[in-house]
Amino acid sequence: MTTLRLVLGDQLTRDVAALRDTADGDVVLMAEVADETSYVKHHKQKIAFVLSAMRHFAEELRADGLTVDYIKLNARGNTGSIAGELQRAIKRHKASAVVITSPGEWRLLSEFRALHLGVPVEIREDDRFFASTARFAAWAKDRKALRMEFFYREMRRETDLLMKGDEPAGGQWNYDSDNRKRLPASVAVPQRFGVKPDAITREVIELVAARFGDHFGDLEPFEWAVTRADALRAFEDFLQYALPNFGAYQDAMAAGEPFLFHAAISPYLNAGLLTPREVCVAAEREYIERRAPLNAVEGFIRQILGWREYVRGVYWLKMPDYAQTNALQAKRDLPWLYWSGETDMHCMAEAIGHTRRHAYSHHIQRLMVTGNFALLAGIDPKQVAEWYLVVYADAYEWVELPNVQGMSQFADGGLLASKPYASSGAYIDRMSNLCGSCRYEVKVKSGPKACPFNFLYWAFLIRNARHLQGNPRMAMPYRTLAGWDDARKAAITAEADAFLDGLPTR
């Protein structure tokens, strides 16, 4: 009696549900398949990261005594799909049952639920999260708006992370107001912890170069960890050198600094090399042992225990309809500069350049630069979501989509965010050193020298007044707009349209 146990490329955890009760004679199936490498044209580094991490994980399982049937992308007879590889493997091993850990994306779960393999298929819950999807649904039931902060407080109580009895450590749940500093020139940024590719990674890099050369992004230098051991080293490095300043400079941006004091662990968490619990517990220890301040540790834990869990809850609660949301009826095509990075807007060129070179940019670049621009420009959210799914090494739909549709594009009409994350150039100037060396002038509101974020911001508010002006959190800018006459509104709208119409889309 052989049970086939499927492990997907983002389920690389020894304790993943499908592997938990492995018995003698069982076979672990791991398959590199064209469907997964190509359902969007992933950044080259993302494919290299996932395939190399899969190959290393297979070796670790073998060293642990498990039988692993590993299908490489170029293997003879590879059907190109997970379903096809399951079918072939059932025959090869005369398997009598299949065990799967629920996948992270809706499209694959629907496919797995419809499988007819001729043997029983068990789909187990993916329990590598603090909150199950049922736990989140119970919290969300009967709530009109799903505010992360309230969910987060429940999760703090449930996990006892940063708690002192029933009260939050330090007396406050949230130290965000301490976490909005610009980076002073006197503060040195730690060097990124990079890992040198080994023989397995080199082979994968060659494969990616040969098969996916037309995908977005630089393949090398490739510095991601591809094993749990190296991911732990990278995380330890973050704890020691970056966490103490993580809070203060969490929202800062600086020219030539993609990582600043961020952890750059999202690909590891999402693929299973690190667990959310262990990183939160380790960060909490830094606070308890006084190596990192509370605003930094609380800020870090909130991203994982709060935001990461919350967006996953929203995804599974609202899919598949969530992917179709477009509350602001945004219709423009994505400008080509998102792919080329060629633009005079310094902030956009930096964010897209980091993305191309590292398959990474930090949260504020994603939200307040590339996301903000797409929101103000009225880009079709489907095209925005596809871009974010393509370009980041950490991108999986369960985490990417709520961040795009909900947090960044307000496409869900305010289910996730209480107001759109829309801002003029002033925000970017306040949080970065980018505007000083931009061809545009951040303080100029209109005309050829004006920062495009400025006129786009007002045109966005005018265009979407019917959706947004009743929102109490938008009262201030709409009060300003109320003092504008129609001619002024028409002029700024025309300026924004002319600018956007002039951006090539191919």
Q: Is 9 in the site for ligand SF4 (CB under 6 A)?
A: no
Both tokens of 185, joined, read 């020139």
Task: Tell me which of 136, 307, 316, 457 binds ligand FAD, using CB under 6 A.
Answer: 307
Q: Is the dihedral of CA 246, 251, 257, 259 positive or negative?
A: positive
Residues 303-362 that bind ligand SF4 (CB under 6 A): 345-347
- Please tell me the count of residues contacting ligand SF4 according to CB under 6 A: 14
Q: Which of residues 379-398 bind ligand FAD (CB under 6 A)?
A: 388, 392, 394-395
Residues 350/434, Cβ–Cβ less than 8 Å: yes
Q: Which is nearer to ligand SF4, 270 or 423 (CB)?
A: 423
Q: Which does 303 bind (CB under 5 to 8 A by kind): ligand DLZ, ligand FAD, ligand SF4, none?
A: ligand FAD
CA 208 to chain centre: 22
Which of ligand SF4, ligand FAD, ligand DLZ, none sits in contact with 477, Cβ below 5 to 8 A by type?
none
Contacts of 431 (CB under 8 A, 6+ apart): 180, 182, 251, 252, 253, 364, 368
Tell me if 19 contacts ligand SF4 by CB under 6 A: no
Based on the shown chain and the rule CB under 6 A, indicate whether residue 456 belongs to the binding site for ligand SF4.
no
Full DSSP string of 292-359: S-HHHHHHHHIIIIIIIHHHHHHHHHHTTGGGG--TT---BPPPTHHHH---S-HHHHHHHHHHHHHS
Residue 376 contacts ligand SF4 per CB under 6 A: no
Give the one entry of ligand DLZ, ligand FAD, ligand SF4, none that residue 249 binds, where binding means its C-beta sits below a cut-off of 5 to 8 angstroms depending on kind: none
Q: Which of residues 362-381 bind ligand FAD (CB under 6 A)?
A: 362-363, 366-367, 371
Q: Is 262 in the site for ligand FAD (CB under 6 A)?
A: yes
Torsion of CA 76, 47, 12, 230, to 10 degrees: 120
**Shortest gap between Cβ of 461 and ligand SF4 (angstroms)?**
17
Q: How many helices (H) and strands (E) does the chain have?
A: 24, 7
- Closest approach of ligand DLZ to the CB of residue 41, in Å: 11
Task: Enumerate binding residues for ligand DLZ (CB under 6 A).
Answer: 8-10, 31-33, 36-37, 42, 47, 50, 103-105, 108, 396
392 binds, among ligand DLZ, ligand SF4, ligand FAD, none (CB under 5 to 8 A by kind): ligand FAD
Strand 167-168 to 163-164 pairing: antiparallel
Residue 497 CA to residue 503 CA, distance in Å, equals 10
Among 28, 31, 234, 263, binds ligand FAD (CB under 6 A): 263
Q: Which residues neighbour 58 within 8 Å (Cβ) at sequence distance 6 or greater?
A: 28, 30, 68, 70
| Terminal alpha carbon distance of the chain | 55
User: Smallest gap, in angstroms, from Cβ of residue 17 to ligand DLZ?
Assistant: 14
Return d(Cα 264, Cα 231) in angstroms, integer.
10
Least separation in angstroms between residue 65's CB and ligand DLZ is 22
Residues at the contact surface with ligand FAD, assessed by CB under 6 A: 262-266, 269-270, 300, 303-304, 307-308, 311, 362-363, 366-367, 371, 388, 392, 394-395, 399-400, 403-404, 407-408
